[in-house]
């Protein structure tokens, strides 16, 4: 039952009511496919420079402080919270009681306060639509409130602030809805390691025989696309926990990229975009048909929809221990194999490295459409504790479960990005994933790529064998070696920040091996 108080606060409105409110308030329009379509203005992605964590006696020694986890004082947080709270008292606002974390033993209730109706619809799509008797956290979002850097200690007129002691999240000055979802993700990433649960930036699905697979990767590397497999059941597309009981989703929906979306290549996502979904920054034609190839607003076009829009899903939003752990990397150099079998030490090394590319970045301020990056745990912006905490938990989970770990390159082959190389096709990558999930990769018949010491299958059904060893796809062997050397040097320079065991350090690629092969 929804109610309205004298303060103009709408409580727990249904999705249908929120859509009507958003349309009446001119927050968006309906596309031909039924999705509410909105624009987020200047900020079409996350604002890392505007994100802060309150530094106090509880968090001071627990957070990996720096450019990613910027500190703000409790006083500054309280000051801005009061300003935004007073601002919203005079506005129509939307309040919902939701939760995050499908495992009822490790779930958090969250009271969401939104200035915009479509933002509340977004949280209803992405969070779990069940309230708890006790609400532990409060998330307050006021996109039209502008912070004052001089008075509020912010870097701009926008702010995303997390207060772990008071269990509050404050977001203002940005219409990009993804900030809300990632803020709650960060909360769970901070809290769950204390319970020996590994929080993960990954998608997950399960086969008919109960075989669970995890897909780690940054946005644009295939996490959502590959987990949305018509032949398997989806658990979730982005945020999960790994406990002694298995895998559980943090969310109740999906937040998929829309750029260049095609029905035949990504049918699950295509069919999920219907009434109740929210499309961000997707261009519509005169008949309100989405033009998914149009990136004039941003490369980071998005759609948020509830899991109920997916027919083949795990209803309880959780499953058992994974059989396969897949690291998705997008290699711009064109020198990594399309699939490699990793040892436990290599798994730790590549998890900490998090090498990939920013493809249609989710962050504001990136002018290059694609660039190389190293993102620890394949999601550095969302993991507030030191990286070793998460890497150690991953190794424990892999050891206990016996899961096999693979590195899958969804990036370039035959040459570097912009230098004659081509990106692996989705059908090729899907064939590789199918071979992994069907246990069709012969671990006893592998060849080694010198330098990275990666072990590569010699054949996979449905994949051109010439693609499996990346050196075979280059016309100029010397040019391949040069790019391989450059990438190895990048890995070495990045990994110098980590203090790891001798076994993990030994998994580091070496340039000497490249030239020794000659």
Superfamily for 9-27+45-195? Phosphoenolpyruvate Carboxykinase, domain 1 (3.40.449.10)
Please confirm, yes or no, whether 505 is among the known catalytic residues.
no
User: pTM score, two decimals?
Assistant: 0.92
Residue 6 in this model has a pLDDT that exceeds 90: no
Query: 43, 168, 181, 182: which is the annotated catalytic residue?
Result: 182
83-93 average pLDDT score: 96
Mean pLDDT of 259-287: 96
Q: Is 313 tagged catalytic?
A: no
Q: Does the pLDDT of residue 515 top 70, yes or no?
A: no
pLDDT, residue 91, reads 94
**Any idea where the domains of the chain sit in the sequence?**
9-27+45-195, 198-251+316-517, 253-309
Confidence at residue 367, expressed as pLDDT on a 0 to 100 scale? 46
Listed residue (274, 237, 230) closest to 255, CA to CA: 237
Other CB atoms within 10 Å distance of the CB of residue 76: 18
**Annotation says 302 is catalytic:** yes
Tell me which fold the domain 253-309 belongs to: Phosphoenolpyruvate Carboxykinase; domain 2 (2.170.8)
What is the model's pLDDT at position 26? 98
The single residue of 37, 40, 46, 257 carrying the catalytic annotation is 46
Q: Tell me: the pLDDT tens digits for 110-147?
A: 999 999 999 999 999 999 998 887 779 999 999 999 99
Query: Which of 256, 273, 193 has the alpha carbon at shortest distance from 30?
Result: 273
What rounded mean pLDDT belongs to the chain?
93
What is the DSSP secondary-structure string of 227-254? HS-TTSEEEESSEEEEETTEEEES-SEE
Choice among 16-25, 135-144, 299-308, 370-379 with the minimum mean pLDDT: 370-379
Q: Which of 181, 302, 313, 350 is catalytic?
A: 302
Q: Does 181 qualify as catalytic in the annotation?
A: no
For domain 198-251+316-517, give the CATH number.
Answer: 3.90.228.20
Q: Active site includes 353?
A: no
366 pLDDT exceeds 70? no
Which pLDDT belongs to residue 517?
Answer: 55
Pairing assessment for the beta strands 404-409 and 339-342 based on DSSP bridges: antiparallel
Angstrom distance (rounded) from CA 230 to CA 336: 28
Residue 217 has pLDDT above 60, yes or no: yes
- Least confident among 81-95, 272-286, 331-345, 366-380: 366-380
Give residue-wise pLDDT tens across range 494-507.
999 998 889 899 99
From the candidates 119, 129, 201, 257, which is the catalytic residue? 201
The stretch 479-491 carries a mean pLDDT of: 96
Residue 455 bears catalytic tag: no
- Among residues 50, 103, 229, 238, the one annotated as catalytic is 238
Q: Which of 175, 223, 313, 333 is catalytic?
A: 223
């Amino acid at each position: 039952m929804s109610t309205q108080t004298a303060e103009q606060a709408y409580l727990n409105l249904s999705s249908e009511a929120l859509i009507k409110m958003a349309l009446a308030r001119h927050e968006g329009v309906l596309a031909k496919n039924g999705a509410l379509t909105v624009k987020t203005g200047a900020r079409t992605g996350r604002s890392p420079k505007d994100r802060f964590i309150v530094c106090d006696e509880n968090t001071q020694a627990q957070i990996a402080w720096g450019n990613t986890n910027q500190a703000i004082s409790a006083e500054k947080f309280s000051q801005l919270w009061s300003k935004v709270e007073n601002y919203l008292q005079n506005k129509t606002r939307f309040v919902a009681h939701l939760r995050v974390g499908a495992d009822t033993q490790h779930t958090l209730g969250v009271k969401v306060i939104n200035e915009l109706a479509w933002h509340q619809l977004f949280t209803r799509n992405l969070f779990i639509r069940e309230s708890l008797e006790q609400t532990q956290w409060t998330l307050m979002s006021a996109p039209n409130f502008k912070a004052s850097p001089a008075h509020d200690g912010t870097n701009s007129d926008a702010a995303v602030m997390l207060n772990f002691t008071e269990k509050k999240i404050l977001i203002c000055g940005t219409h990009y809805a993804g900030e809300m979802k990632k803020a709650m993700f960060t909360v769970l990433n901070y809290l769950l390691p204390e319970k020996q649960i590994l929080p993960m930036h990954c998608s997950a699905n399960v086969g008919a025989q109960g075989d669970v697979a995890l897909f780690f990767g940054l946005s644009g590397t295939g996490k959502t696309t590959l987990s949305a497999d018509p032949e398997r059941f989806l658990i979730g597309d982005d945020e999960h926990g790994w406990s002694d009981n298995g895998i559980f989703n943090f969310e109740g929906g999906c937040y998929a990229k829309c750029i260049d979306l095609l029905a035949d290549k990504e049918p699950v996502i295509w069919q999920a975009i219907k009434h109740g979904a929210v499309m961000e920054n997707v261009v519509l034609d005169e008949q309100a048909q989405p033009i998914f190839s149009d990136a004039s607003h941003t490369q980071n076009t998005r759609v948020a929809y509830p899991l109920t829009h997916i027919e083949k899903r795990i209803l309880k939003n959780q499953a058992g221990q994974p059989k396969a752990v897949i690291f998705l990397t997008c290699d711009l150099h064109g020198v990594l194999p399309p699939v490699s079998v990793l040892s436990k030490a290599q798994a730790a090394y590549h998890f900490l490295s998090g090498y990939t590319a920013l493809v249609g970045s989710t962050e504001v301020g990136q002018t290059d459409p694609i660039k190389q990056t190293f993102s620890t745990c394949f999601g550095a912006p969302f993991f507030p504790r030191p990286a070793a905490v998460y890497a150690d938990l991953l190794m424990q989970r892999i050891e206990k479960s016996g899961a096999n770990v693979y590195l899958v390159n969804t990036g370039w082959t035959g040459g570097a990005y912009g230098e004659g190389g081509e990106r692996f096709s989705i059908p090729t990558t899907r064939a590789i994933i199918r071979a992994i999930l069907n246990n069709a990769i012969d671990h006893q018949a592998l060849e080694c790529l010198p330098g990275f010491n990666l072990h590569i299958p010699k054949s996979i059904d449905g994949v051109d064998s010439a693609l499996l060893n990346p050196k075979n796809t280059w016309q100029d062997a010397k040019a391949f070696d040069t790019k391989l050397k450059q990438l190895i040097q990048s890995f070495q320079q990045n990994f110098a920040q980590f203090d790891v065991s001798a076994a993990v350090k030994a998994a580091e690629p070496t340039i000497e091996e490249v030239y020794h092969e000659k």
